[in-house]
């Protein structure tokens, strides 16, 4: 084989590589940009605020035990609130949202009333059996905290 064919053999071997890379570049430029959010920077700043709020909440040391009790055709949301030392927390404004984790359309929101020091309750319509998640937001003055708990109603 003469030496003059070597460049042509090299070009023939590289042609499929160049063609495949060209197709991949075409699809990479013409398809999904990779951006999930319209404004990722603003979302990042919000995330930093969430981290700061979580740090403040950890400093408060508030603890919440959330329970859903069923009976007499009603569902009762019961929250026991304590501070870091285990002392019942009074004077909180609590809002609970009860939702099914797999069906975001179905949820019930309610404000809870303080029955006794550190014990807050709210009556809800009867909930279907299955898994439910209770999200809680507690506020007292400038302090705020949140909690979530999942339960299975039978």
pLDDT in tens, 99-117: 988 877 677 888 999 999 9
Domain count, the chain: 2
- The series of mean pLDDT values per 10 residues for the chain, 154 residues long, is 86 95 90 76 85 87 91 88 91 92 78 92 89 92 90 88
DSSP codes of every residue in 42-88: HHHHHHHHHHHHHHHHHHHT-EEEEEEEEETTEEEEEEEEE-TTSPB
The domain in which residue 92 lies consists of 62-153
Residue 62 is encoded by which pair of tokens? 């508030």
Residues 68 and 130 in one domain: yes
Within-domain flag for 52: no
CATH number at residue 78: 2.60.40.10
CA-CA distances (angstroms) from residue 112 to 37, 62, 95?
Answer: 35, 17, 6
Q: What is the pTM of this model?
A: 0.66
């Amino acid at each position: 084989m003469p030496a003059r064919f070597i460049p042509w053999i090299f070009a023939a071997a590289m042609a499929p590589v160049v063609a495949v890379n060209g197709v991949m570049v075409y699809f990479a430029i013409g398809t999904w940009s990779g951006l999930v959010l319209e404004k990722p920077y603003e979302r990042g700043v919000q995330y930093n605020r969430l981290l700061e709020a979580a740090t403040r909440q950890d400093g408060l040391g508030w603890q919440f035990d959330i329970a859903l009790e069923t009976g007499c055709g009603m569902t009762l949301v019961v929250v026991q609130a304590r501070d870091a030392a285990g002392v019942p927390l009074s004077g909180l404004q609590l809002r609970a949202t009860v939702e099914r984790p797999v069906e975001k359309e179905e949820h019930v929101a309610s404000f809870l009333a303080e029955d006794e020091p550190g014990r807050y309750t709210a009556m809800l319509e009867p909930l279907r059996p299955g898994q439910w998640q209770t999200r809680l937001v507690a506020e007292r003055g400038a302090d705020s905290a949140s909690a979530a708990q999942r339960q299975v109603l039978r």
